[in-house]
Amino acid sequence: MSTILSQRVPKNTGWKLFLQTILARAYPRVIGQQREKSWMFFEIFLPILSISAYVFVYRAIRAPEEYIGFVVMGGAMTAFWLNILWSMSSQLYWEKETGNLALYIMAPNSMMAVLLGMALGGLLASSLRALAVLVLGSWIFQVNFSVSSFSQLFLVFGLTMAGLYGLGMMLASVFLLLSREAWHISNLAQEPIYLLSGFYFPIKSFNILIAAGASIIPLTLGMDAMRQLIFPSGPSLGFLSVAVEIRVLILLTVIFVVAARFLLAHIEKLAIREGRLTESRR
């Protein structure tokens, strides 16, 4: 017995524990998404139906052919927004309802690492669905792409995802503090974001105040910049120049990640001080 007790299991701390937590939390997201095959089908099939409706409308009114490409790309990007809304922002609230949140808070790992793991796993799963929608939509509706700068395109996509998942981590704390209202907010936010972010049309169609207000959502400027880089007429339909939108995306990423860190620390303090974060708070 003394020999067994003397042989302590090594425990990782610091950045090693942080990375292990990210990988451990990402694993069930990646594997779990593949177990329910019907979900994969409907997450690809339903966006194609939405895309089809807008494509037929644009072709009926003889809109520029680039608008068809805008719709296909917007339909593909819905996978990321839905992942943020339902699998990131509402996640801590759902963990609270199922009784797992207390385990997360008591564990020695960082809550930021837990949410980053969720973000990484969700990003990989959503990327596969977005790619499938993009490929199928482009093939069905004969969309032609003309990328002007692959380096800027990858940079814009990376910044958009970083800012978007930073927003998701921040909203996870906000939704948890709002308790049952999180469910209503998630339902309320889904369709308005489709409109304000210009999923199916260029946001330049809005007046400058509405477009500027909608730009607080990273998807808005991200899609606008990617459309400018992918389609020949994209720059003429863009809200701001690609260079300016890249700078704004960097700023939004920093703001959302810092805010997420602050809010996560706040809810951990509430849990420790009040001991009832997992119950109805008065």
Of 12-16, 151-155, 263-267, the least confident: 12-16
pLDDT value, residue 221: 93
Residue 104 has pLDDT above 60, yes or no: yes
- The answer to whether the beta carbons of residues 274 and 185 sit under 8 Å apart is no
* Radius of gyration, CA atoms only, the chain: 21
- The answer to whether the beta carbons of residues 74 and 223 sit under 8 Å apart is yes
Alpha-carbon distances, residue 225 vs 83, 198, 209, 243, 247 (angstroms):
21, 12, 18, 9, 11
pLDDT value, residue 156: 94
| % of the chain beyond a pLDDT of 70 | 88
pLDDT band at 245 (very low <50, low <70, confident <90, very high): very high
pLDDT higher for 219 or 91? 219
pTM: 0.84
pLDDT value, residue 7: 56
Read off the pLDDT of each residue in 15-22 and give the average, rounded to a whole number.
Answer: 84
Of 13-22, 93-102, 173-182, 231-240, the least confident: 173-182
pLDDT higher for 248 or 23? 248
Residue 124 has pLDDT above 50, yes or no: yes
Residue 99 has pLDDT above 90, yes or no: no
pLDDT value, residue 1: 47
Alpha-carbon distances, residue 84 vs 15, 87, 102, 168, 219 (angstroms):
25, 6, 22, 5, 11
Calculate the CA 58 to chain-centre distance: 28
pLDDT tens digits, 148-191 = 889 999 999 999 999 998 888 888 887 777 766 666 777 777 78
Of 20-24, 38-42, 116-120, 259-263, the least confident: 38-42
- The answer to whether the beta carbons of residues 125 and 43 sit under 8 Å apart is no
Alpha-carbon distances, residue 39 vs 36, 74, 120, 135, 272 (angstroms):
6, 20, 19, 19, 38
pLDDT higher for 158 or 192? 158
Residue 282 has pLDDT above 50, yes or no: no
Name the most confidently modeled range: 60-64, 121-125, 189-193, 242-246: 242-246
